[in-house]
């Protein structure tokens, strides 16, 4: 990145669930990337009821990073609910998010920012190579093919959680789902609303700590049910109401 500051303000946010091993490093890197881009930024971490020491660590980091905001869910509410907390509590013009487990390199945000030109509303990352166990890769391929058939979306990697989005889009879409299906819901509703996408390749790394919960049969069944429910809402009922009222509901989250 150059040292030139840009006129846009920036929110960077991370979902966090038992991410003690990675979240501190991500916040530090995000702070450095944001300072290289603009003087007007914030970093939000939404902790979804972590059971490890994540909250203690985040509270200690609050004293070090003055632009850090913390949102704590009293219990585990699901990935979708975490993303909604981040999107609807963001205060800046551009919102970037990625997961708190360190499988993406936050510094690559510096490559997405120049792509956010006039006429672009979302810069959607896509994985150059997926670095996951074989079973996760198989699930990912099946998920992508099934959902592309059902929803006819046009981005190449709907499940890549490395996105830069104009905050204003959330005045015009309402996100409902609280599971990982929210990524599909987000992309399809943005497409249906006429927002314009650009895409950019990003690296994907092995998980440094912890493990994914997606392979659990109960979660897979829940995701399958939510895919069908979303298909009915969006593709059959055409239920895509605007999101202003919902923003007011979500901002009841307690922010520190």
Domains of the chain, each with CATH number or no CATH? 10-250 (3.90.550.10)
The C-alpha atoms of residue 136 and residue 243 are separated, in whole angstroms, by 33
E strand or H helix at 150: helix 134-151
User: Comparing 51-60, 158-167, 192-201, 246-255, which segment has the lowest mean pLDDT?
Assistant: 246-255
Q: Is the pLDDT of residue 1 over 50?
A: no
User: Could you tell me what percent of the chain has a pLDDT over 90?
Assistant: 73
Residue identified by tokens 């509303």 is: 121
Per-residue confidence (pLDDT) for residue 238, from 0 to 100: 80
Q: Is the pLDDT of residue 247 over 60?
A: no
- Average pLDDT estimate for 65-72: 96
Per-residue confidence (pLDDT) for residue 4, from 0 to 100: 57
User: How do residues 201-240 score in pLDDT, each as one tens digit?
Assistant: 999 988 766 555 555 667 778 888 999 999 999 999 887 6
DSSP bridge pairs for 68: 43
Q: Is the pLDDT of residue 164 over 90?
A: yes
User: How do residues 125-144 score in pLDDT, each as one tens digit?
Assistant: 999 988 777 887 888 888 89
- pLDDT band of residue 245 (cuts 50, 70, 90) is very low
E strand or H helix at 44: strand 41-48
- The reported pTM is 0.89
Q: Is the pLDDT of residue 149 over 70?
A: yes
Averaged pLDDT score across all residues of the chain: 89
User: How do residues 21-37 score in pLDDT, each as one tens digit?
Assistant: 999 999 999 999 999 99
């Amino acid at each position: 990145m150059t040292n030139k500051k840009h006129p846009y303000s920036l929110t960077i946010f991370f979902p966090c669930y038992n991410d003690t091993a990675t979240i501190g490093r991500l916040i530090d890197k995000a702070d450095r990337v944001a300072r290289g881009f603009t003087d007007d930024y914030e970093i939000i971490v939404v902790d979804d009821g972590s059971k490890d020491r994540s909250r203690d660590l985040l509270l200690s980091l609050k004293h070090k990073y003055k632009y850090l905001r913390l949102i704590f869910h009293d219990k585990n509410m699901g990935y979708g609910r975490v993303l909604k907390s981040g999107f609807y509590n963001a205060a800046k013009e551009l919102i970037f998010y990625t997961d708190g487990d360190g499988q993406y390199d936050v510094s690559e945000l510096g490559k997405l920012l120049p792509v956010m030109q006039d006429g672009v509303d979302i810069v959607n990352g896509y994985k150059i190579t997926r670095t996951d166990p074989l079973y996760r890769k198989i699930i990912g391929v099946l998920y992508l093919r099934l959902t592309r058939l059902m929803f006819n979306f046009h981005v190449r990697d709907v499940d890549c959680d490395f996105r830069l989005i104009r905050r204003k889009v959330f005045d015009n879409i309402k996100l409902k789902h609280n599971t990982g299906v929210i990524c599909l819901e987000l992309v399809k509703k943005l497409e249906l609303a006429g927002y314009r996408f650009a895409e950019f390749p990003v690296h994907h790394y092995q998980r440094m700590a912890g493990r994914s919960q997606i392979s659990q049969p109960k979660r897979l069944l829940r995701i399958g049910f939510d895919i069908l429910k979303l298909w009915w809402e969006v593709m059959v009922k055409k239920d895509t109401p605007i999101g202003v009222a919902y923003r007011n509901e979500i901002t009841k989250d307690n922010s520190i």
